[in-house]
């Protein structure tokens, strides 16, 4: 900038013109610094630590704290620069700077309304100790829809309430969409609607109560193997299992934070549930579809593929 200002002044034959050209260079320089400072600030959201964000901001050019604040307020109204990305919110950018907060709905079932156990899906984040699964080229439709449902309310996703009702009714074709190997074994198996035997559904017992809670997920930061992070679970009152805290052996893939109740407790005895299902035109108790048996060789291949490359 100094060299450019010198050249502009040197090629001028009068002092007023020289002053004007040097002033124009200075103004352009100030505007460039301000524009860079404003447009670069959203990039701080990808800096992984608070100390790193401080260092990032310290490296940015500044016109003074008060001037920077005024400039940012003016730029925000004009949308000069914004953090953006494909599905920015649902892919993990939280409300605060450097906060990763992927929203996830966690279904919980209970046989007595007091002790709750999580109903796990095959692919979406649930148990913090479960690694991400390999799904390509398959798209797990239900898990994917649960991800979108976490962005809003169950009132905007009536299919979710239908899913919960079918789980309560013990429909084998719906239970098969869940992680059957991790389904709670303490619930007694019962015949599904239609009078068919429960054995065709793999012997999974339906819960009597279901609720949904919303969490924000982030990857567990890498730590040395010898580090003992300790800590107790904080997965909500009455939830069984040490899911939210590390077990001290650095085995957690995710860390999560409870945010709010997504769906209150639902049971088949709720008259409002039956009325809602009827209003939506969904059958009550529902049409039963007999689950076709899967050849043993194909079933073994599918189970291996689901666990690859983690050996789960």
Instruction: Specify whether 120 is located in the same domain as 45.
Output: no
**Is 92 part of a structural domain of the chain?**
no
- Do 139 and 280 fall into the same domain? yes
Q: CA dihedral defined by 91, 93, 99, 101, rounded to 10 degrees? A: -40
pLDDT tens digits in sequence order for the chain, 312 residues long: 677 666 767 777 777 877 887 888 888 888 887 777 777 776 665 665 565 566 766 777 776 778 777 877 887 777 777 666 666 656 666 665 456 788 999 999 999 999 999 999 999 999 999 999 888 888 899 999 999 999 899 999 999 999 999 999 998 889 889 998 899 888 876 655 554 444 344 467 899 999 999 999 988 887 765 544 444 444 444 443 344 444 444 578 999 999 999 999 999 998 888 888 888 888 776 555 455 555 666 666 766 666 565 444
Inside any domain, residue 21: yes
Do 195 and 110 reside in the same domain of the chain?
A: yes
Single out the residue in 78, 112, 138 at which a domain terminates: 78
Q: Domain check: are 149 and 298 in the same one? A: yes
In a domain, 88, yes or no: no
Residue 95 inside a domain? The answer is: no
* Overall pTM > 0.75: no
Q: Residue 29 belongs to what domain range?
A: 2-78
Inside any domain, residue 97:
no
Q: Of the candidates 15, 45, 78, which is a domain's last residue?
A: 78
Q: Are residues 68 and 110 in the same domain?
A: no
Task: Please tell me whether residues 74 and 106 are part of one structural domain.
Answer: no
> For residue 86, is it within any domain?
no
How many alpha carbons fall within 13 Å on the CB side of residue 120? Answer: 18
């Amino acid at each position: 900038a100094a060299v450019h200002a010198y050249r502009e002044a040197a090629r001028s034959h009068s002092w007023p013109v020289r002053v004007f050209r040097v002033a124009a260079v200075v103004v352009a320089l100030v505007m460039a610094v301000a524009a860079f400072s404003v447009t670069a600030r959203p990039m701080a959201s990808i800096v992984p630590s608070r100390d790193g964000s401080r260092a990032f901001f310290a490296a940015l050019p500044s016109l003074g704290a008060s001037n920077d604040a005024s400039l940012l307020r003016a730029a925000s109204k004009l949308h000069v620069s914004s953090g953006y990305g494909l599905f920015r919110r649902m892919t993990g950018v939280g409300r605060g700077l450097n906060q990763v907060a992927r929203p996830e709905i966690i279904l919980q079932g209970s046989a007595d309304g007091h002790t709750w156990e999580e109903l796990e899906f095959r692919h979406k984040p649930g148990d913090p100790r479960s690694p991400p699964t390999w799904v390509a080229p398959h798209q797990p439709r239900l898990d994917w829809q649960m991800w979108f449902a976490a962005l809003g309310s169950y009132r905007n996703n009536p299919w979710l309430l239908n899913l919960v009702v079918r789980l309560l009714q013990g429909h084998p074709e719906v239970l098969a969409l869940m992680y059957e190997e991790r389904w709670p074994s303490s619930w007694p198996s019962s015949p599904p609607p239609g009078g068919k035997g429960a054995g065709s559904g793999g012997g999974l017992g339906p819960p009597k109560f279901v609720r949904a809670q919303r969490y924000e997920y982030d990857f567990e930061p890498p730590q040395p193997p010898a580090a003992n992070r300790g800590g107790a679970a904080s997965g909500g009152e009455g939830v069984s299992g040490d899911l939210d805290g590390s077990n001290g052996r650095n085995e957690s893939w995710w860390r999560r934070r409870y945010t709010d109740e997504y769906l209150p407790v639902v049971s088949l005895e709720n008259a409002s549930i039956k009325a809602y299902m009827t209003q939506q035109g969904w059958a009550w108790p529902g049409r039963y579809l007999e689950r076709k048996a899967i050849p043993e060789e194909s079933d073994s291949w599918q189970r291996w593929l689901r666990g690859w490359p983690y050996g789960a």
